């Protein structure tokens, strides 16, 4: 599993997706991130993601983003787990 620290992320690297629920996202998030809640992302990945793009997934504690990276990697997407700092 590819990983980077949040402080090392740069928007030119790819799209940062925060998989937190929308309420938690509004409270605190990386300004470069977009919010696609974990369940929504995994149920709609074929329509929300493009296999030609690079994605970086983050959440508060790392559990959901790490699991999403494992699943999406299995399906052939270029995803990286972002360690929340």
Domain total in the chain: 1
Band of pLDDT at residue 35, cut at 50, 70 and 90: very high
Band of pLDDT at residue 34, cut at 50, 70 and 90: very high
Cα(53)–Cα(68) distance, integer angstroms = 16
Q: How does DSSP classify residue 67?
A: H
Only one residue has tokens 């995994």, namely: 42
Instruction: Give the chain's count of helices (H) and strands (E).
Output: 4, 5
pTM, full prediction: 0.96
Across the range 11-39, mean pLDDT stands at 97
The pLDDT value given to residue 17: 98
pLDDT at 84 over 90: no
| Residue 23 domain boundaries | 3-83
The pLDDT value given to residue 79: 98
At 53, which CATH number?
3.40.250.10
């Amino acid at each position: 599993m590819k990983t980077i620290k949040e402080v090392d992320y740069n928007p030119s690297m790819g799209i940062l997706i925060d998989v937190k629920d929308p309420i938690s996202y509004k409270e605190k998030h990386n300004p470069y991130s977009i919010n696609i809640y974990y369940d929504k992302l995994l149920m709609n990945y074929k329509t929300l993601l493009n296999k030609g793009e690079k994605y970086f997934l983050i959440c508060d504690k790392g559990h959901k983003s790490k699991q999403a990276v494992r699943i999406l990697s299995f399906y052939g997407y270029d995803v990286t787990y972002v360690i929340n700092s």
